[in-house]
Amino acid sequence: MRYFLNLLILFAYSASAQVSVTLMEPKPVGTSVNDVFNAIVITNSALTVNITGVITDVKNNKIAEGVIRQVSLKLGSNTINTNQFTPVYLINNMSNSGNLLTYGKYSFCLRVVEVVTQEEVGEDCKSIDVEVLNPPNLLSPYHEEIIQTKFPLLTWIPVMPSSPQITYDLRVCEILKGQSATDAFSKNAALLFQRNISGNSLQYGINHFPLDTGKQYAWGVYAKNAADEVIGVTDVWMFTIKLSELNQAENIDMKNFVRMKNEPDNSFLYLKDYVRVIYDERYSETTGLLEVLDANKNVLFSKNVEVLRGENRYLISFEDLKGGFDKNKPLLLVFSPEGRNKKYLEFYIKNK
C-alpha cells in the first residue's frame, strides 16, 4: 500500500511541475558555443533538475554538449547561462580559437530533466545559420604587383573562423586589352582553376598553363564548406610578369631547376652551360647576393639580385664565370638573401 502511495505522490509531484524553457537567439556572426545555451526557465514550483544542452549540425552530428547537474530552480523565472555548464564538451566543427562555430546550419536544444522523477519537464530547440566572420583575403602577389617569375606562389588569408572542413577554389585568368581585372575574372576562360585546396597557398608550376612576360593576370579565391557551398569570395587582384636579367630562366628552359640546400653536403651535380636554381621566399621582398666560388674560395661570379615573394628562379651562365680556375674541381654556389639563411649548391662543370 505504501509503495502505491509513493508512486501516487511522485505522479502528483511530477504532474504539478510546469516548466517553460526559452532559448535566447545567438548572434549569427562570430557565433561561439558560449552564445547558444543562454535561456530563461520559468517554473510554477521550486525544482531540482539536470539541464543538458546539445548542438548538432544539419546531418544531426553532435557538435558540442554540456550538462548542469543538481541545479535548483526557484519559483518563477530563472536565468541559465552557458558558463554554468561544466564542462561544455567540444566535439568537432570548432575553430582554432574562441570555440567559434564554423560556417553552416546548426540546431541547439536545452532539455530540463527533474532529478526526482528523471522525467523531462521542459525543452526548447532553435536553429541558426552561422555566417562567415571574415571572408578570405588575397595576400600575395598583391594587387597590381609586378613580379619577376612565371611561377608565383599565390597566397591568401583564410576565412575566420577557420576549419579543416573549409576548402578553396583558385582561378587565374589573362586580362585582355581594355578589360579590368574583375571583368576578365568573370568573363575569360581560366588559365588555372584549382579546386578543393586545403591550405591557403598554391605554387604555380610548370605543369600549369604557362604565364608570359608583359601580360597581366587576374586571380581570386572562393572559400567553400563541406557541402561545396561558397561561403566567401576574395576581391579580384591582378599582377604583371616582368623578368629581370638574372631571372630570365623561364625563357631558356623551364626544366632542370634545382632547389639549393641549407648546408654543403658533398652531393655534387654535373651541369652544362648554366646553373639553374630556385629560391622560395614566403615572407617579403628582399635582396640577395649570388656567388660562385672555386675550390680555393676564389669568387668567380658575384651579383646582387632582387628576391620577390614566391618562387624565384635564377640562371647563371658559365660564360660569366671568371677564368683561371680548374674546371676539374668542384664549384660552390652560395646564395645570401638579406636577413635569411644562406643556401648552397655544389657542382662540377660537365665536359662537353
- The whole-number pLDDT of residue 347 equals 92
Q: Residue 347: CB partners within 8 Å, gap ≥ 6?
A: 268, 269, 270, 271, 275, 330, 331, 332, 333
Report the predicted TM-score, pTM, of the whole model to 2 decimal places. Answer: 0.48
Q: What is the dihedral of CA 46, 49, 51, 52, to 10 degrees?
A: -150
CA 313 – CA 149 distance, rounded (Å): 7
Q: Going residue by residue through the chain, which has 352 residues, state the pLDDT in tens, using 9 for 90 and above.
A: 444 444 444 444 444 568 999 998 887 666 777 778 889 999 998 989 999 989 888 788 888 888 888 989 999 999 988 888 766 666 554 444 456 677 778 888 999 999 999 999 999 999 888 776 688 999 999 999 988 788 899 999 998 777 777 899 999 999 998 999 999 999 999 999 999 999 999 999 877 888 888 889 999 999 988 778 888 899 999 999 876 544 544 444 556 788 999 999 888 888 888 898 988 887 777 899 999 999 899 999 999 988 877 778 888 888 889 877 888 899 999 999 998 999 999 999 887 5
Residue length of the chain: 352
Q: Which 3 state secondary structure label does DSSP give 7?
A: helix
- 196 neighbors 184 (Cβ within 8 angstroms): no
164 exposure class (CB count in 10 Å sphere: 0-12, 13-18, 19+): exposed
CATH of 137-241, one of 1.20.1740.10, 2.60.40.10, 2.60.120.10, 3.40.190.10: 2.60.40.10
- The whole-number pLDDT of residue 211 equals 87
Q: One fold for both 2-130 and 137-241? A: yes
Return the exposure string of 31-49: e unless at least 16 CB atoms fall within 10 Å of the residue's CB, then b.
bbbbbbbbbebebeeebeb
CA neighbor of 145 nearest in space, from 245, 249, 237, 220: 237
CA 118 – CA 129 distance, rounded (Å): 33
Q: Which residue type sits at 163?
A: S
135: left (phi over 0), alpha (psi -120 to 50) or beta: beta
Can you list the pairs that 119-126 forms with residues at least 24 positions away whose Cβ atoms lie under 8 Å?
119/14, 121/14, 121/17, 121/18, 121/19, 121/47, 121/49, 122/19, 122/20, 122/21, 122/41, 122/43, 123/21, 124/21, 124/22, 124/23, 124/39, 125/23, 126/23, 126/25
The DSSP string of 90-153 is E-SSB-SSTTBBPSEEEEEEEEEEETTT--EEEEEEEEEEEBPSB--EEEESPTTEEES-SS-E
- The whole-number pLDDT of residue 58 equals 79
CA 227 – CA 250 distance, rounded (Å): 40
Q: Rounded to the nearest 5 degrees, what angle is found at the Cα of 190, between the Cα atoms of 187 and 195?
A: 120
CATH code for the structural domain at 2-130: 2.60.40.10
- The whole-number pLDDT of residue 9 equals 41
CA 201 – CA 195 distance, rounded (Å): 12
Largest distance between two CA atoms of the chain: 116
Which three cell numbers mark 208? 600549369
Per-residue DSSP letter, 236: P
Which three cell numbers mark 218? 587576374
What secondary structure, in 3-state letters, does 142-210 show?
A: CCCEEECCCCCEEEEECCECCCCCCEEEEEEEECCCCCCHHHHHHHCCCCEEEEEECCCEEECCCCCCC
- The whole-number pLDDT of residue 27 equals 73
Structural domain boundaries in the chain: 2-130, 137-241, 245-349
- 91 neighbors 121 (Cβ within 8 angstroms): no
- The whole-number pLDDT of residue 150 equals 84
CATH 3.90.1150.10 fits 245-349, yes or no: no
